Amino acid sequence: MCPSDVPPPLPGTRLPGSAPLDGRGAEAEGRAPGDHRFPCPTCGSDLRFDPAEGRLKCDHCGFTEAIEGSGRRLQAIRELDFQSALRDLLPEAEIEETRVMTCDSCGAQVEYSEELHATECPFCASPIVADTGAHRHIKPHAVMPFVIEERAAHKAMTDWLGRLWFAPNGLKEYARKGRRLEGIYVPYWTYDADTKTRYTGQRGTYYYVTRTVMVDGKRQQRQERKIRWSPASGRVARFFDDVLVLASRSLPKPYTDALEPWDLSTLEPYQPEYLAGMRAEGYTVQLDEGFHEARARMDRIIERDVKFDIGGDVQRIQALDTKVSDITFKHILLPVWMAAYKYRGKTYRFVVNGQSGRVQGERPYSTWKILLAAMFALSIAALIGYFAAQNG
């Protein structure tokens, strides 16, 4: 990757966070920006987003309300110019301030309402005091609504734990009877870019020669494969659409990567109603950092394209010169059900893809189960040895 492809961020780069983009105007409705609470018009209780129905629902009286404008999907989701964002030149309409909590243990940044001053981190179960400062940051442009309900996500998690034979029984039971999972919208960046690459390399073609070798004192003819190399050069071009990069450091990346794939065709233009009853994590991976990861993914695909263009049986790439242009991005929120359990002084974290139900998390181990398994294996080996000796 050429460093000149990504100019360094200038002073004034936006602080990390996540923020709602309320198309109806939060201030006009008497709500503060970032407020995800919606009172029920029937009883006054808070409405929450119901994944099963795709609507706002009141758990107190059963009232439901459709989310205005849902179903517009990707046609209404705008991409933003990457270079303008790096130079702090985005329109003010794309920037918002929200109040977020920062966890000292795992670094998570999560939005909280004004009346909340102390809570527990949903990512690591550490007790924290909510930060009262306002953070300026790029608004999310799209959200993938939850599809899997909390009950189904909890069952998927306990089923996953049940398949881990070496997991402590106490943790399985604790998780099965434990508190509800929390719905968290996790921040991601997506990047689009047009790439054109010149390359030089070599094309390798297999050919075979016959060799005479001695095997057990006898001469044998064998075919030996060799490679004939010839120079190759050319150009390849590819447009990258929605290269997805996690914009959070609060969870181990292998967990979140293992939640893929995500069907980004189900993204909806951001509306705060989708966050009712949920939480949103703020981004801690800055826009330029995210692009470095996206570019590394692009480079791997470009190398594959070049090898295909070179052809032959094997390929060598000697030089690549890639020009990247028309870079755009989106800040999006993806749905994750999350649980953080403290068991015997240790925190175990589990995440469930809120779209597909795929589960990942810490793999706990029971020392006693491992010892029992080892003893059982030794016993079986001893029995096999005994009967082998008897038969011998």
Is 366 contained in some domain? no
Query: What mean pLDDT do residues 54-77 have?
Result: 80
pLDDT confidence band for 131 (50 / 70 / 90): low
pLDDT digits (tens, 9 = 90+) for 243-268: 999 999 887 788 888 899 999 999 99
Q: Is residue 109 part of a domain?
A: yes
CA distance 330 to 140: 7
Q: What is this structure's pTM?
A: 0.75
Name the CA dihedral angle for 78, 83, 88, 90, rounded to a multiple of 10 degrees: -20
Residue 24 lies in a domain: yes
Q: Which residues partner with 128 through β-bridges?
A: 119
Please tell me the number of Cα atoms within 13 Å of 104 on its side-chain side: 6
Q: How much is the pLDDT for 279? A: 83
**How many domains does one find in the chain?**
1
Residue 310: in which H helix or E strand, if any? helix 287-310
Q: Looking at the domain assignment, is residue 372 inside a domain?
A: no
383 within some domain? no
Q: How confident is the model over 90-111, as a mean pLDDT?
A: 75
Q: Is 29 part of any domain?
A: yes
Contact 22, 271 (CB under 8 A): yes
Contacts of 124 (CB under 8 A, 6+ apart): 103, 105, 106, 108, 250, 340, 347, 349
- The string of pLDDT tens digits covering residues 173-184 is 555 666 678 898
Assigned domain for 192 exists: yes
pLDDT tens digits, 33-62: 445 678 899 998 889 999 988 889 998 898
**Residue range(s) defining the domain that contains residue 295:** 3-361
How far, in Å, CA of 19 to CA of 271, rounded?
Answer: 11
* 389 within domain boundaries: no
Q: What sign does the dihedral 73-74-78-81 (CA atoms) show? A: positive
Instruction: Write out pLDDT tens, residues 285-335.
Output: 999 999 999 999 999 999 999 999 999 999 999 999 999 999 999 999 999
